A and B are shown apart, each in its own frame.
Chain A
Amino acid sequence: MRVYADNAATTAVSDTAVAAMLPCFQEFYGNPSSLHTIGQRAAEKLSLARQIFARRLNCDPSEITFTSGGSEADNQALRSAAAAGAKKGKKHIISTEFEHHAILHTLEQLEKEGFEITLLKIPKSGVISPEQVRQALRPDTCLVSVMFANNEIGTIQPIPEIGRLCRASGVPFHTDAVQAAGHLPIDVKSMEIDMLSLSAHKFHGPKGVGVLYARKGRVPLVNVIYGGAQERGKRAGTENIPGIVGSAAAFDESCANMEKNAAKMTALRDKLIDGLTKVPHSILNGERERRLPGNVNLCFEGIEGESLLLLLDQKGVCASSGSACTSGSLDPSHVLLALGLPHEVAHGSLRLSLCKYNTEEEINHILAVTPGIVEYLRNISPVWDELEHGQRKHII
């Protein structure tokens, strides 16, 4: 049996999305910028896709910009807010310690360019409070960027509350909704969101398509990519029509079936959490209640994540880990460290991320093979040996 439980990394493209894309390769293959019929048919497809995203996010189609993915959308959002802030002499940005690197590394670059960055600390729950944001606000704050839901531990942030606070304070608010879009209800109006990034391949759309929502009259977008006049001149390059059309179809489908999918995934997720936390000295990272329907993230003490992943893969389970060995660096995941986990515990993390296609049988398979693998690795581990003989203290 092969179980794909790495849907936070990427998802399979849905049949609906594939069906929507296929005619775009040989029938609607025109360049939307062309005046002729073939080109205008493609332009119409593009316009329909834009309308779908606008309707589902509750905004105007002119507020939607298609990008190459979530990272580009994040880069453009931050760059735009920074440019607008700099014009007014406001060069302070608030974000959080556990953002995606598309945010954190852009902020690092902005810091080099003279911006001051405040990264909010992450409580053990994995959910920041609006009060933390309020306390960090300054007269020169030009942007607050807080992710909708964390990509590793799945915790959902109080976005409407932060939105209300920022709106009342006159500070633009961006949210990286890459993990949330298509999985959680999003309404940019009622949630008072000024900018939002999403990525299609996280909700069964194709890779290479992102969306940046930017509220009209708030933060003028600056280009990350210069060239032609596509996307109202804000994002050059011939539009990826098959990708954009497939993304819109996938988003429409995900939003239409959100409640049903979430109920199914949450039940499977809870079964996994209940089963896996029975393994002695294991811990669920981030709180259970405010959590993405498909996210399970645990640490097992005394073992290292990469070896766990390799053995799970041998048993047909595709998962991910925040261990250093899987990141190619010496440090384990910045998200787990931000939660306050010690390095040695963070090395032993396992993320299982589900989607609507996972079945109860697959969950039973994961539950059947995982404890044995953890035990096997613990038996090899000198760290576990010391823990068991009291030479080292259990942390979890």
Chain B
Amino acid sequence: MLYSEKVMDHFQNPRNVGKMDDADGVGEVGNAKCGDIMRMYIKVDKDTQTIRDVKFNTFGCGSAIATSSMATEMIKGKPVKDALALSNKAVVEALDGLPAYKLHCSVLAEQAVKAAVKDYYDKNGIPYGKDLTICNQDCEHCAGE
């Protein structure tokens, strides 16, 4: 099979799927031209700086949907700074692997989480390091891979 059982499970039964109208931070990466868009919403508990709730919407292939779902599971209830440290590698491992040419989907998931956190920081005037930049994974960027 192309995908692991875990990937198929998260693809067919995605966790935390949907919109969040009162999100504290929203991040969107990718574009429809390339065939992948992920939008991540986070709700933050301001006292503890933890992610109280998270939702996502994804346009894309099976692994794009599965990595979005897994990423939301991995940051839900976690401190915001931990979410920022989520790596695509950790998402791939949690899904029992992805085909090599699908690894960019996991990068997209990592970047979607970062984009949502950055949006939250920006909206709340919370300072962050210069290294928090978002790779939008647009076509020109990926084309060189």
* A interface with B by C-beta (< 8 Å): 302-304, 306-307, 310-311, 314, 323-325, 328, 330, 332, 342-344, 347, 379-385
Contacts and interface: CB of A to CB of B under 8 A. Distances in A.
B35 A343 contact: yes
Contacts of A344: 32-33, 35
A330 B142 contact: yes
B17 interface: yes
A307 B35 contact: no
Contacts of A325: 35, 60-62, 102
Contacts, number: 72
Which of A323, A332, A347, A379 gathers the greatest number of chain B CB atoms within 10 Å? A347
Chain A, interface SS category: helix
B69 to A, nearest CB: 10
Contact of A382 (B11, B12, B58): B58
A347 B32 contact: yes
Contacts of A382: 28, 37-39, 57-59
A390 to B, nearest CB: 15
Contact of B14 (A304, A324, A347, A380): A380
Sorting the interface of chain B by its residue count into under 10, 10 to 19, 20 to 34 or 35 or more gives: 20 to 34
B139 interface: yes
B92 interface: no
B101 interface: yes
Nearest to A328: B101
B81 interface: no
Contact of A381 (B59, B62, B142): B59
A293 B102 CA distance: 35
Contacts of B11: 307, 310
A323 B35 contact: yes
B66 to A, nearest CB: 10
Contact of A330 (B19, B34, B57): B34
Contact of A306 (B17, B33, B62, B143): B62
Contact of B19 (A323, A328, A385): A385
Contacts of A302: 59
Given A382-B57, A382-B59, A383-B59, A304 B12 contact: no
A306 B2 CA distance: 12
Contacts of B3: 310
Contacts of A306: 61-62
Contacts of A381: 37, 57-59
28 contacts: A303-B59, A304-B36, A304-B64, A307-B11, A307-B60, A307-B61, A307-B65, A310-B3, A314-B12, A324-B34, A325-B61, A328-B101, A330-B34, A330-B139, A330-B143, A342-B33, A343-B33, A343-B35, A344-B32, A344-B33, A379-B17, A380-B14, A380-B57, A382-B28, A382-B39, A382-B57, A382-B58, A385-B57
A66 to B, nearest CB: 34
Given A379-B17, A385-B19, 10 more contacts: A306-B61, A306-B62, A323-B61, A324-B34, A332-B35, A343-B33, A381-B37, A382-B28, A382-B37, A383-B59
